[in-house]
A and B are shown apart, each in its own frame.
Chain A
């Protein structure tokens, strides 16, 4: 008897210990929305300000946010996907959305447009196309973007070199880079010329082809086109040798450097490779007194323009979101509210709504103006958006392109020819699987 009482008591104690306050206390009727994005500090601050604005206008909604850098964002999302615990609203990317849709993790957004929850009257259909997978809209474009070389106008002037025209080639680039380095003693460009974007970009601009074939089952360029990428890598080696760009040692030792520490901000380089929306963060970090423009990425002689318009990122709604409609309302606010966009000022790329663009016009700072202007130039090319990378790209990029091809070439353990050949051989194997 006594033992039973003791047992009961123990159980009670344990229950209260293990489940403290669990759902015993009633919760208020607020709708909770979870949202996750990646980005820089500028983006975090702005997005949080927009969320707070939305909450003040919709007191029944409580938005819980998670933000991180690019790598951590995807790591976190993957584990949340495996655990069935995805946020309601996810910042998504053109390269990854296809796989997520293929695995049934995202919600189609078309019904919200049909029902008028998301208003698209001021948005060109072309701006939405990138977010469609098999004709169904899964990602809502948050701004238009393109690859660019951000250039320090004052440094060009100081070196007595004219800004290059939009149709400049890699030969022009090499000449200019050497001259800039000679005149100013700093790097012509801050680095990142080893990234796989330039492998993919090489085949856009030399051959109007793409690194992968349309089905994602093999490479999209032929063996006799290998030499274009070899030429590109040889140029990198020459520029490194001349000291006009950072060595691979320096580049790798600096991986993970924030925008604030990038060489263009610290005036140790004249140019920096990135996406056009990056200029907003760069200029903010560099200070108002500096002057920048966005240049197209150089092309191959007798080739094709490298630049095309791409959605910078999307908002997507996760498949099992219990408050999908509320999530859609927030997306609508984010896209169409002038007030919200006045806070963000095109940090995620050029806004897709023409009404928002017009309303922003008088408030645009120099960074946004330069970006809008640049995207106008790229729009003029009318280049089609490139196909999203096949699922094998992450494996190819992380495990083959970097450690087995580019690093050995740039450390001088392998010739560019050998490396490009190896890349073809091994990538084909990974793509076939």
Chain B
């Protein structure tokens, strides 16, 4: 093994034809991944783009219908707009909440204390199992009739609430779940916090800065690249949320479509009423919207993201 590893660089500098052959071998080695990528990702994506312009129904076959799917979405489908509304509300609350939680916990775990590694693992755990069915099922129980949420309410003498049947509360159970699953952004924040040079805090202390000042003048500005990264990732994940709503509300989007996330509605159109053409069109609109939003965030980043290297240190 060691031989070949050492021998490789030598061959690289050889003739061009050999270089090409080596590439071929490389492609062969990654071919299982390539096959899977083309079979399960690329080809289906291209196919779904094509299907977006058809009325493909799983049982009935398809006809080319031009832009009709998009017209229907924007003008003739009241549920579509309710799903957009539910998704936007979710993203608007869940993403900032999750980021704030993640940062707060990351700062707590950044202190030098005994057993901090254990806490780090413990706080990351919910996110490892985060998107899973089991967590969603557990959440449903917490907000069930005899669940923890009602138990706490009852302790304060308040009557029980049907959390998942109440149009005002149902989506908040999902937002809370999202906030609770702060693990992966937290880990990234933690790594970012560790990059901030200790001397900055020391000199700030000498200058008499308090905790708030240190946070707002040092931590936050130096953390902006990490915040930026987390924001983009969570924004994308937020728009594509599916499992939680699917399990917790039984895939219904109820009550009154307040938890009808875009991805859930898309699924329902595709797999409940079998309108795959329409579902594909919805998927591509979502892709476009996410792309545009991401681009906007990128554009604004020059205004608020601070890269140390640019200062020419």
Interface residues of A (CB under 8 A from B): 3, 6-7, 10-11, 14, 17-18, 71, 74-75, 78-79, 81-82, 99-100, 103, 105, 247-256, 394-395, 398-399, 402-404, 407-408, 411, 413
Contact = CB atoms under 8 A, between A and B. Distances in A.
25 contacts: A6-B25, A7-B21, A10-B29, A14-B29, A14-B32, A78-B58, A78-B59, A81-B58, A82-B276, A105-B59, A252-B165, A253-B145, A253-B164, A254-B165, A256-B250, A394-B272, A394-B273, A398-B272, A399-B273, A403-B82, A403-B257, A404-B78, A407-B256, A408-B256, A411-B255
Contacts, number: 96
B79 A3 contact: no
B254 interface: yes
A101 to B, nearest CB: 10
Contacts of A74: 272
- Which of B28, B82, B274: most chain A Cβ within 10 A? B274
Interface string B162-202: 11111100000000000000000000000000000000000
For the complex of A and B, list the 9 residue pairs with the smallest distance between their C-beta atoms, beginning with the closest. Answer: A253-B165, A249-B165, A249-B162, A256-B250, A252-B165, A253-B164, A253-B162, A103-B59, A78-B58
Nearest to B252: A255
Interface residues of B, number: 40
B251 interface: yes
B271 interface: yes
Nearest to B161: A249
A403 B253 contact: yes
A63 B32 CA distance: 32
Nearest to A257: B250
Contact of A403 (B79, B250, B272): B79
B31 interface: yes
A17 B31 CA distance: 11
Given A14-B31, A78-B271, A398-B273, A253 B21 contact: no
Given A407-B254, A411-B256, A399 B31 contact: no
Given A18-B35, A252-B255, A411-B255, 11 more contacts: A7-B28, A14-B28, A78-B58, A78-B59, A79-B58, A79-B271, A253-B166, A256-B250, A398-B273, A403-B254, A407-B256
Interface string B254-290: 1111001000000010011110100000000000000
A3 B274 contact: no
Interface SS of A by simple majority? helix
Contacts of B254: 252, 255, 402-403, 407
B24 interface: yes
Contacts of B61: 103
A398 B28 contact: no
Contacts of B35: 18
Given A3-B21, A253-B145, A247 B28 contact: no
Nearest to B276: A82
Contacts of A256: 250
A255 B250 contact: yes
A403 B165 contact: no
Contacts of A18: 32, 35
A407 B79 CA distance: 13
A205 B271 CA distance: 33
Contacts of A249: 162, 165-166, 255
B60 interface: yes
A224 B256 CA distance: 28
B272 A103 contact: no
A395 B32 CA distance: 40
Contacts of B12: none
B17 to A, nearest CB: 10
Contact of A17 (B32, B60, B252, B253): B32
- Which of A394, A395, A399: most chain B Cβ within 10 A? A399
Contacts of A79: 58, 271
B273 A10 contact: no
Contacts of A411: 167, 255-256
B300 to A, nearest CB: 36
Nearest to B56: A82
- Which of A14, A79, A105, A253: most chain B Cβ within 10 A? A253
B79 A253 contact: no
A149 B163 CA distance: 28
A75 B267 CA distance: 10
Contacts of A7: 21, 24-25, 28
Contacts of B217: none
Contacts of B25: 6-7, 10
A81 B28 contact: no
Given A18-B32, A253-B163, A404 B59 contact: no
B165 A248 contact: yes
Given A7-B25, A10-B25, A75-B272, A407 B255 contact: yes
Interface string B21-59: 100110011011001000000000000000000000011
Nearest to B29: A10
A398 B269 CA distance: 10
- Which of B18, B60, B61: most chain A Cβ within 10 A? B60
